[in-house]
Amino acid sequence: MCLASRDVQAMFGLIGDAEMFCVQSFVFDGSDYLGAAHEAGAMFMRFGYPSRTGGLGVVTVTHGPALTNTLTGLVEGVRGWVPMLLVAGDTATGSRANLQGIPQRDVVLPTGAGFEQARTPESALADLGVAIRRAIVERRPVVFNIPSDDTWQDIEYLDVPLDLPASQRIHPDPTSIRRAVDLITAARKTVMLAGHGPISARTSLLRLAERIGAPRTTSLKAKDLFRGDPFDLGIAGGLAGPVAREVIDSADLIISFGARLNAYTTRQAGAP
């Protein structure tokens, strides 16, 4: 109910003994659970979810090796500034001999992800609220760690306010806009590069590209964003095809939207 009240409509993961009751509760509230064959797969299934919905992505895994299987996804989420909640079941607090028992905080923190512990069954909802708020505000994955014996407890539902800061619109500097217009006007061969950030703005990007006569290309994460468009060059950078390479190399201006001009998008050439 707590996740559903935060407009979380889908959860990805792989069920194990330490978090199966969390998944059961989520599904019984009418939300969707999408199972994966491997925890790493669940993490990357989650990466595609907010790109299309804008919602907070949630993954759930059990303890020990299941959590270690998520580490690559956690690192990717940290480096990509991706808000994400990973609900990790943990070994029961009274267990000393469980083969899956590991110090889960010590495993998570080196990835750069946040970590929030469910301290008691009674504080679990408040602790979960803190984890959700941190994931949204800090724009990185946060692991909510809950011992398996806590998931068996019946507690009274409490709506915990997140107290999120109000959203603010970013207004570009007028001087920078005029400078960009001057560059576009003076350029003879302009190429548009889009990353995964502006995926929801595909129509606006195409309208601008058509207005200035710019072929379009994407980073690897935004692959197929312009699929079907007659001037789609495909992926830029090291994975670019021969036509894309020829067009991009001959450009005198590249306009980038949500894509870094790093070695991966410029084939080790640096920013044009």
| pLDDT 10s digits, 2-43 | 665 666 778 899 988 888 878 887 787 777 888 899 999 999
| Homologous superfamily in CATH for domain 174-266 | TPP-binding domain (3.40.50.1220)
Cα torsion for 271, 225, 14, 132, to the nearest 10°?
70
CATH (one of 2.60.40.740, 3.40.50.970, 3.10.20.440, 3.30.1490.440) for 4-152? 3.40.50.970
Closest CA to 69 of 16, 25, 30: 16
The single residue listed with the structure tokens 């072929």 is 215
Position 270 scores a pLDDT of 47
68 residue type, one letter: T
Task: For the full predicted model, state whether its pTM sits above 0.85.
Answer: no
pLDDT in tens, 133-154: 999 899 999 999 999 888 777 7
Within the chain, all domains assigned CATH 3.40.50.1220 are found at 174-266
Q: How far apart are CA 223 and CA 203, in angstroms?
A: 16
- pLDDT of 189: 94
* Tens-place pLDDT, residues 104-128: 999 999 999 999 999 998 888 889 9
Residue span(s) of the chain under CATH 3.40.50.970 come to 4-152
